Structure 1
């Protein structure tokens, strides 16, 4: 059954009960009396019951309304407690939340999240552990981070993975590069140009080696790096092109860099939240986690 009412309707219900009249209740929650009446009517319609008996002199609860009141009070009290906890954390200068994140998501994506979080909770310090996938996994498993953002792979048994995005690999290149004007680029075509790769300590390198085991480039890479973000810096400097996950790329308005989808084959990577199983997050960590879920992620090239 679909219940079509919201928090405002429940608050209107409680206000009428407390004030004993629609006019006083409307004044208390600072809305017009017709607007309050509509909220009560919406609530009664959604529940398919009458909650109030109305006469010219007074408003009283029906039998069903009396039974419903304790449930409403409990829901609203629980919400008040939760909001109070968030408010207390936000007002504490020493409050902090620690997130572990792979560099490919830390460089362009996480600054947007942290900026939005800081505007909401300026007194909470965010600690960002930008590290390899294995190190992110370890930090979450050991409790050094509240939670992490990483890609699926070998996870510790005490860590859970929640998928946020399935992204594809793109070729990162300068806008003045011959590949930049293409709609898509095959891996073989990319390997015809000077290219940069990750070294074998990288989790991304392991993933790509498995996905591309049948491809044999005719020439070796001109440089190897440990992190995707370093590769992108080398691409921007004009050293060559590089295969990177799309979340690592800047937005479409970047003056120098562009990402073009790689095909034949199309290689995908699962990005998500990792949390220690059974761990209860602090209110601050819950808020940061929710912002990550709400922030748009790029799943294809620019």
Structure 2
């Protein structure tokens, strides 16, 4: 079945309003026979005559009169949709969706969002604060325009742009005995209960790998799903945690403090994750440019 062309709708509306094929043909820069063929094609698609004609006058059939307001709405919807795309392309409207690991969201995004909103106030921002694995899947599936994530195993579907290295630290209470030390080694932690995140976490994978390489076994006593929960347990005096520095609260009044790891340090590399073979939206590209300008180091 043939599809109705929007140019045919515009021609139909012009003929209906002018009541004259010749005048309509001049307006749309077509010969009158070409315009007549287009209207015959439109009538064939609709399965009914739209015009009645004499040598001097053209008027709408009952079907033509019924179709006219529908044609106007269809043409208006089309023009509005094109206008929406143009506005998005010129960064006046649209939405940017970011899949970001929670510990990085607060660190990286507020300043960038503030600057982006000042420049492009019509573009909405949606943040998916999810785990590293979930964030990667969101980017690969196209649920997010891009992600801020750890540099985990290489996937051909995505590319990675470095932002910063985030060292792991030992999180303790300010009144904990280990707080007297300038730094903390693995052996210093052996007598204490360790609070870890679940094994499917990218942070846990880095920690476990470092323990294996250092031939160390710690007393993993509590296991939680989120780093924020581990901070709460440390604050209650239930144990210590080895966490990325970005996860530490910035509030000076907190009971929590941290010390660097002595010996073989652990770090996670954080950056921007983008799909490799899919072009990014203009709005998302603008956001990434601001993000990289603000945070990426040469």
TM-score normalised by the chain length of structure 2: 0.62
Per the alignment, residue 266 of structure 1 pairs with: 265
Matches within 5 A, 1:212-227: 212-213=211-212, 214-217=214-217, 219-221=219-221, 223-227=222-226
Given that residues 102 and 136 in structure 1 are in contact (C-alpha distance below 8 angstroms), is that contact kept between their aligned partners in structure 2? Answer: yes
Per the alignment, residue 186 of structure 1 pairs with: 185
Given that residues 196 and 220 in structure 2 are in contact (C-alpha distance below 8 angstroms), is that contact kept between their aligned partners in structure 1? Answer: no
Show structure 1 runs of 5+ residues with no match.
1-83, 298-302
Instruction: State the alpha-carbon separation in 1 of the partners of residues 235 and 121 from structure 2.
Output: 33
Given that residues 163 and 272 in structure 1 are in contact (C-alpha distance below 8 angstroms), is that contact kept between their aligned partners in structure 2? Answer: yes
Matches within 5 A, 1:239-278: 239-251=238-250, 253=252, 255-278=254-277
- SS of the aligned residue for 2:220 comes to coil
> Which residue, 89, 99, 103 being the options, matches 2:91?
89
Instruction: State the alpha-carbon separation in 2 of the partners of residues 226 and 148 from structure 1.
Output: 21
Matches within 5 A, 1:109-188: 109-188=108-187
TM-score normalised by the chain length of structure 1: 0.61
Matches within 5 A, 1:68-87: none
Q: Which runs of 4+ in 1 moved over 6 A?
A: 84-87
Instruction: State the alpha-carbon separation in 1 of the partners of residues 119 and 249 from structure 2.
Output: 24
- SS of the aligned residue for 2:91 comes to helix
Instruction: State the alpha-carbon separation in 1 of the partners of residues 264 and 224 from structure 2.
Output: 23
Instruction: State the alpha-carbon separation in 2 of the partners of residues 86 and 189 from structure 1.
Output: 56
- SS of the aligned residue for 2:187 comes to helix
Given that residues 89 and 284 in structure 1 are in contact (C-alpha distance below 8 angstroms), is that contact kept between their aligned partners in structure 2? Answer: yes
Per the alignment, residue 24 of structure 2 pairs with: none
Change (3 A) 1:198 1:290: same
- SS of the aligned residue for 1:263 comes to coil
Show structure 2 runs of 5+ residues with no match.
1-85
1:181 Cα deviation from its structure 2 partner: 4.5
1:275 Cα deviation from its structure 2 partner: 0.4
- SS of the aligned residue for 2:284 comes to helix
Per the alignment, residue 4 of structure 1 pairs with: none
Instruction: State the alpha-carbon separation in 1 of the partners of residues 111 and 289 from structure 2.
Output: 13
Per the alignment, residue 208 of structure 2 pairs with: 209
Change (3 A) 1:196 1:97: same
How many pairs does the alignment contain? 211
Per the alignment, residue 287 of structure 1 pairs with: 286
CA displacement, residues 113-152 of structure 1 (integer Å, 9 cap, x when unaligned): 4344344444322111111222111111111111111111
Given that residues 194 and 218 in structure 2 are in contact (C-alpha distance below 8 angstroms), is that contact kept between their aligned partners in structure 1? Answer: no
- SS of the aligned residue for 2:160 comes to strand
Task: Single out whichever of 135-144 and 178-187 deviates more from structure 2.
Answer: 178-187
- SS of the aligned residue for 1:269 comes to strand
Given that residues 211 and 217 in structure 2 are in contact (C-alpha distance below 8 angstroms), is that contact kept between their aligned partners in structure 1? Answer: no
Instruction: State the alpha-carbon separation in 2 of the partners of residues 249 and 236 from structure 1.
Output: 12
